[in-house]
């Protein structure tokens, strides 16, 4: 029993240290109408320049969202082309909220 608990605690602690980046790829005006509390804002057209300044590992989890998922999809393609391998298009703000369990703030 102790081994099972120990392994579970190790796995849980590892997941707590994994870096997850949530990126809102919408415009500033859209961001100001409401965004996920834990999100960073990087417009999709600027993602290739700005993502590299964050010094992420290529396997860091990156979750993207926009109004409908179209711009997030474009940003995902750009990030995949740069070599990032763990990128998710979460779709809209509400879909991203449900996926990550975060709150919307204004």
pLDDT-based confidence at residue 19 (cuts at 50, 70, 90): confident
CATH of 19-105, picked from 3.30.70.2740, 3.30.2180.10, 3.40.250.10, 3.90.1330.10, is 3.40.250.10
What are the pLDDT digits (tens) for 44-57? 999 999 999 999 99
Write the DSSP assignment of 28-53 as a string of letters.
Answer: HHHHHH-EETT-EE--GGGHHHHHHT
Q: Which of 3-12, 22-31, 92-101 has the lowest mean pLDDT?
A: 3-12
Contact between residue 40 and residue 25 where contact means Cβ atoms under 8 Å apart:
no
Residue ranges of domains in the chain: 19-105
| Maximal C-alpha separation, the chain | 54
Q: Percentage of the chain surpassing pLDDT 90?
A: 81
Per-residue pLDDT, averaged over 16-38, amounts to: 90
Contact between residue 62 and residue 78 where contact means Cβ atoms under 8 Å apart:
no
Alpha carbons 71 and 75: distance in angstroms, whole number: 6
Would the pLDDT of 9 be above 50? Answer: no
Per-residue pLDDT, averaged over 75-80, amounts to: 98
Tokens linked to 85: 């391998």
């Amino acid at each position: 029993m102790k081994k099972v608990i120990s392994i579970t605690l190790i796995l849980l602690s590892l997941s707590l240290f994994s870096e997850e980046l949530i990126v809102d790829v919408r415009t500033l005006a859209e961001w100001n109408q409401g965004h996920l509390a834990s999100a960073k804002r990087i417009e999709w057209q600027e993602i290739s320049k700005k993502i590299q300044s964050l010094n992420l590992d290529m396997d860091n989890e990156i979750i993207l969202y926009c109004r409908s998922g179209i711009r997030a999809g474009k940003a995902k393609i750009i990030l995949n082309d740069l070599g990032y391998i763990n990128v998710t298009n979460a779709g809209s703000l509400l879909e991203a909220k449900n996926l990550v369990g975060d709150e919307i703030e204004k």
